[in-house]
Amino acid sequence: MQIPAPFDYVRASSVDNALALLDRHGAESRVVAGGHSLLPMMKLRLARPDWLIDINDLFELDYLLIDGQTLRIGAMTRHTTLLESDDVQRLFPIITDAERVIADPIVRNRGTIGGSLCQADPAEDLSTVCHVLEAVAVVRGPAGERMLSMADFHRGPYETAVAQNELLIEVRVPIRAGSSSAYEKVERRVGDWAVAAAGASVTLDSAGAISQVAVGLTAVGLEQNVTEVEAVLVGQTPTEELFTEAGRLASLACDPLADQRGPIDYKRHLADELTRRVLRAACRRAAASASEITI
Amino acid sequence: MHINMTINGTDVTREIEPRVLLVHFIRDDLRLTGTHWGCDTSNCGTCVVLMDGQPVKSCTVLAAMADGHSITTVEGLANGTTLDPVQQGFMEEHGLQCGFCTPGMMLTARALLDHNPHPEPLEIREAISGQICRCTGYATIVRSIQWAAEHPVGTAETAATTEEEAVHA
């Protein structure tokens, strides 16, 4: 039987209250949202907080808002909400693609985008998605709010820039005209972590050439985007040859470990193949949405 | 700590340790053993209960987190002696053999049908994809849920009565 070590539990009633509680209870307090990463770690005694601050009552952080050229996602937005949003599907199909394969439908009822990003698991899909979309993390603390690029937010496996007395409150995703995106994952079974996954975002100019591109990989030892791909693709009209070259560069850029999910050469093969597929899908979707606008 | 929640329509108040998981609270404190405790790692889904109508894995929710919420367990599915159509469907279509995964499967099915009364077989498979059956097989579970979709609330009593009459006849 897996039972967490003893702790004290308190429910936050607002963001300010959560920050005050974090401040009061100090280094041995942890925030719990959906709980589907933290509670398993506590059950295995890999995490032993003295205080658990439950932020599930912070409905003020559960929202999806289109604000000008930005999609604002509250940190307590559940995976299910993201998956079922038509706006998300239309603007950022990469999020819908990823949400469809994050954990399972029941876990998605509880898990939140904020929790996923703060857990920063190396196999976490939304970290890759947010890197690819050049999202900005809004973090609030006693000194006010700060905006962090994903490169600044995501420090490495299980590590983010969110300080002990701060809370991730929002994720802002820039909306770009002529842009689309895609995500694809290989997993052993529903609910398992990725063997490998890839995400891509592409912007096409009016002539159909790639004006902006980002490719990210999940679970293969690369925290940041595959920057090598940009130099090769920007300014070019999408072709199968270019996707092949991008796939090759992705397989070289990653640094996977051999584990029970597969050997290194298999994971590099997946980085290659999945990069091609997501670029192909993102370009196809971007072209399709451009033609819709023209009509 | 003090917690209060609605379980199958009844208000319950208990004093618990904050670390008690919802599944153990339901089974050990409330003695409602219909909710099963399986893998303990939120993989198998036999511990699924409805929290405010939504399926959750109760091995990965603290009882404290359910404070103030409404929980439905398998014991709350039937209305008196009238089975829920989902329960009836599992009988009609042989949706169980050993029965271990059944409570979680039936609660997920109930939530699915509340949300989407006429699901496609693929949607049913997607809904139960976080739950594991190791003996009956998914084909009959999917058929059981389809049966329930085709016989919404109000017809189960008739079916149960007919069967009872058949036994007596």
Distances (CA, A) of A73 to A102, A130, A201, A223, B23: 17, 11, 18, 22, 31
Is pLDDT at B63 greater than 90 in this prediction? yes
CB contact at 8 A, A194 and A263: no
Question: Which residues face A219 on adjacent strands?
Answer: none
* pLDDT given for residue A293 in this prediction: 59
Mind telling me how many Å the CA of A21 is from chain B's nearest CA? 17
- The b-or-e profile of A216-246 (16+ CB within 10 A means b, else e) is bbbbbebbebbebbbeebeeeebeeebbebb
- Where residue A290 falls among pLDDT bands split at 50, 70, 90? confident
**What CATH superfamily is the domain A179-294?**
CO dehydrogenase flavoprotein, C-terminal domain (3.30.390.50)
Q: Which residue of B has its CA nearest to A108?
A: B56
* pLDDT given for residue A28 in this prediction: 95
What is the maximum span of chain B, computed from C-alpha positions, in angstroms?
55
Residues in A closer than 8 angstroms to B21, CB to CB, are 3, 39, 43
**Interval B1-19: pLDDT, tens:** 999 999 999 999 999 999 9
Q: Which residue of B has its CA nearest to A39?
A: B60
Report, as an integer, the average pLDDT of A65-92. Answer: 97
**Interval A260-286: pLDDT, tens:** 999 999 999 999 999 999 999 999 999
Is pLDDT at B154 greater than 80 in this prediction? no
- Where residue A202 falls among pLDDT bands split at 50, 70, 90? very high
- Where residue A190 falls among pLDDT bands split at 50, 70, 90? confident
Instruction: Show which residues on chain A lie within 8 Å of chain B, measured between beta carbons.
Output: 1-9, 11, 32, 35-36, 39-40, 42-43, 52, 54, 56, 103-107, 109-110, 190-191
Specify the domain boundaries for CATH 3.10.20.30 within chain B: 2-76
Token pair 């592409």 is found at: A202
Token pair 């009061």 is found at: A24
More confident residue, A174 or A289: A174
* pLDDT given for residue B166 in this prediction: 45
CB contact at 8 A, A215 and A226: yes
Domain B85-164: top CATH class:
mainly alpha
d(CA B66, CA B119): 29
Interface test with B, best of A25, A106, A108 (most B CBs within 10 A): A106
d(CA B110, CA B113): 5
What's the topology of domain A59-174?
3.30.465
**Interval A82-124: pLDDT, tens:** 999 999 999 999 999 999 999 999 999 999 999 999 999 999 9
Is pLDDT at B93 greater than 70 in this prediction? yes
Nearest residue to A284 via CA among A295, A276, A272: A276
Report, as an integer, the average pLDDT of A148-157. Answer: 94
What's the topology of domain B2-76?
Ubiquitin-like (UB roll) (3.10.20)
What's the topology of domain A8-54?
3.30.43
Question: Residue A225 corresponds to which amino acid?
Answer: N
Q: Where are the alpha helices (DSSP H) in chain A?
A: 15-25, 38-43, 79-84, 86-91, 93-100, 105-108, 113-119, 125-132, 150-153, 227-233, 240-253, 264-294
- The residues spanned by each domain of chain A are 8-54, 59-174, 179-294
Nearest residue to A283 via CA among A232, A208, A177, A174: A208
Q: What is the mean pLDDT of chain A?
A: 96
Interface test with B, best of A9, A83, A101, A102 (most B CBs within 10 A): A9
